[in-house]
Amino acid sequence: MLVFLTGRTDVGQGRQNNEDCYLIMDGDDSIQFFAVADGMGGHNGGEVASSMAIELGKSFFLRNKERLIELSFQNVNQFITDLFEQANESVWNKALENEHLAGMGTTLTLGIIMGSHLHVGHIGDSRAYIISLGNIIQLTEDHSYVQKLVNENQLKAGEEKNHPKQNLLTRALGTDYSVEVDIYHYSLKPGDYVLLCTDGLTRMVSDEEILDIINSCPGSEAADRLISTANARGGPDNITVLLVGLSNEDQ
């Protein structure tokens, strides 16, 4: 069912370092594992946190891959929870050990495709989208201060893009000794796309524009076009795009 899985990351126009990180594990037709992370923290803390989250996710997946394949649909939730808890503990402890890394943390949004099922684990304000039948669906909800205001009807949807506290997260990996992860499931259809991205994209490119670009560009070209569009508008943050395309025919 899988046609392609491609990832791109770019430092953007306004940053000297890239604190984004991503992972693609697509060597087995039975399961695909992929993730994006957007780090935060002083000094090089953001880069450390995001790269740790991705490497820890990768090692957890490789250690437990056979377990994951054998799990029932319901127990995938526990697999994702265990992964996030172990990654959170490692990042939290690393920050405690090094005063230069104090307060570091990262977003982490991961996808697992098994057959026609997509499973998503999420914390922070990176996002997972589905592009299906000409529509774009945001699966995840941002764990941010401005999203909280929107949910409480103190801001209208769209106003958060210009809010002075738009960078403030309410939940992230590694910023507390415990972690709460959101988990989503979606039944994929032939022709669907899955998009994981950091907020360097979504703050500069609207959902409707993302949809248009993915529908009009083939495969990896769409990922490149999304990044170039964000950069053309100033690219104030790092930009990471991970795009999965599914066959138009059942296999």
Domains defined along the chain, listed by start: 2-246 (3.60.40.10)
Phi and psi of 241, rounded to 5°? -130, 130
Q: What is the pLDDT of residue 143?
A: 96
Q: What is the pLDDT of residue 29?
A: 65
Phi and psi of 25, rounded to 5°? -120, 95
pLDDT averaged over 10-residue windows placed end to end, the chain, 251 residues? 88 95 81 95 88 97 85 81 97 95 96 93 98 96 91 80 81 96 96 97 96 91 97 97 85 42
User: What's the pTM?
Assistant: 0.94
| Terminal alpha carbon distance of the chain | 6
**Residue among 115, 100, 90, 106 nearest 20 (CA):** 106
In this structure, the number of other CB atoms found within 10 A of the CB of residue 41 comes to: 24
Q: What is the pLDDT of residue 43?
A: 67
**Residue among 123, 45, 44, 33 nearest 87 (CA):** 123
**Residue among 56, 13, 70 nearest 237 (CA):** 13
Cα–Cα distance, 107 to 130 (Å, whole number) = 19
Q: What angle do CA 129, 134, 135 make, to 5 degrees?
A: 40
Q: What is the pLDDT of residue 74?
A: 64
Q: What is the pLDDT of residue 247?
A: 83
Phi and psi of 135, rounded to 5°? -125, 155
Q: What is the pLDDT of residue 1?
A: 67
